[in-house]
A = this chain, B = another copy of it.
Amino acid sequence: MTTEGFRVLEEKSLIEYIKATPSLASKLGNDLENLKVKEVGDGNLNFVYIVISPSASIVIKQAVPYVRLIGESWPMTKERSYFEATALKRQYDLSPKHVPQLYHFDRSMSLIGMRYLEPPHIIVRKGLVAGVKYPLLAQHMSDFMANTLFYTSLLYLTTTQHKAAVADFCANVEICRLTEQVVFSDPYKISEHNRWTSPYLDADAEAIRNDKVLKLEVGQLKSKFCEQTQALIHGDLHTSSVMVTQDSTQVIDPEFAFYGPMGFDIGAFVGNLFLAYFAQDGYADDRKTYKEWIKCTIGDTWNLFHQKFTSLWDMHKDGPGEAYLHEIYQDTELWELVKQKYMIGLLHDSLGFAAAKMIRRIVGVAHVEDFESIGDPVKRADCERSALDFAKMLMKKRRNFNTITDVLSAV
């Protein structure tokens, strides 16, 4: 948790830093005389710069010791940068087509240098607001999730490897506490950070604070988040942590990574697609077919994930993973039963976490552009209420759904 040698960079000092850092300078073709720097951080936590030389571009990300969205009044260890770099590298190794390459990490500066995702890459959420279809999104995201989650779980790792990795990421605790607070706690109580489309949703926000069954469920999900070291999860896999073009999908910003429940990643992505779905009715143009595309993408994401994840499991069934030893589970019928039980459990977790992520984006501290871009507050509140009602149902009834098709029919 060094603070020695740390200083917040701005344009000029950043250029000096790059000039003094061969691993970054070389990525810019050592063409350092006319560097341009653009600050593009639109996230809640960090400063992000695109650095452009005449021959190439890179991204520099620096963590500061507070939550950028809130300001210095909400301190947040900049050590998160170490976990982001570690997770980014691990995820790149496991899913190189869908994760940008790490070029450089400076722990004392909390500074990451990484691949610049060139235009037309944009944040998926912006594409969803604009009504753009990404035919490969489900394919690619299911690929990323299947690979990163399977290979970091006990289905593939030995207990020895698993516990060592768990111990490492336990130190990313401040960022886990942030999630615990803003996802699992604040929306269910009075909090100065909460906001919603007022006064239209005042009664809805209050209803959430008074919903006993919902609070019971979210408490169990919170415990699972805190206690279940199932796999190395991204930890913040919403639609602003993914950049896309028509044929590329890149997952960024894994600073929330730790060993947690797989369903938290799947749920984050799927839950944010549901938010996009419910926001569509608030936009001026006709989004009927686009809404259908979002539903299909949700269905495909889960179904393809299911297929890829279980294929990896089959492929490595007599591999190093110690959870289900081949010698014990080799009977064909039993093997199918094991996978079926595991995947149903994972679906239920994913739906619960999806619901929690939806609710917190409507009545918690951090909102999403999907709804924020609806100018008319009455219209916005209507869309948000539909999303809230669906999320509440999903969290309470998640164990009744056996397939994603059943879920989509309930929308």
Residues of A within 8 A of B (CB): 154, 159-160, 162-164, 166-168, 170-171, 173-174, 176-177, 180, 185, 188-190, 212, 215-216, 219-220, 222-223, 226-230, 322-325, 327-329, 331, 333-334, 337-338, 341
- CB-CB under 8 A from A323, the residues of chain B are 219, 222-223, 226
Return the contact of A334 from the options B159, B216, B226, B328 (Cβ within 8 A).
B216
Most buried by B among A163, A176, A230, A329: A163
Copies in the complex: 2
- From residue A310, how far is it (CB to closest CB) to chain B in Å? 15
Option from B219, B327, B329 in Cβ contact (under 8 Å) with A329? B219
Min distance, Cβ A162 to any Cβ of chain B, angstroms:
7
Partner of A327, one of B164, B168, B177, B189: B189
Give me 20 other A-B pairs in contact (C-beta within 8 A), A163-B171, A220-B341 excluded. A154-B223, A154-B227, A159-B176, A159-B177, A159-B180, A160-B173, A160-B174, A163-B176, A164-B173, A166-B166, A166-B170, A189-B328, A215-B329, A215-B334, A216-B337, A222-B323, A226-B322, A227-B228, A227-B229, A229-B229
Nearest CB of B to A216, in Å: 6
Q: How far is the CB of A119 from chain B (nearest CB, A)?
A: 40
Q: List the B residue with the shortest CB-CB distance to A154.
A: B226
The docked-state distance in angstroms from the alpha carbon of A189 to that of B334 is 14
| Nearest B-chain residue to A231, judged by Cβ | B227
A1→B189 CA distance, assembly (Å): 47
Query: How far is A341 from B341 in the complex, measured between Cα atoms in Å?
Result: 22
Docked pose: A338 CA to B214 CA in angstroms: 11
Q: How far is the CB of A47 from chain B (nearest CB, A)?
A: 26
A347 to chain B, nearest CB (A): 15
Q: Are B215 and A328 in contact (CB under 8 A)?
A: yes
Interface residue from B162, B168, B176, B223 paired with A226 (Cβ < 8 Å) = B162
CB distance from A208 to the nearest CB of B (A): 11
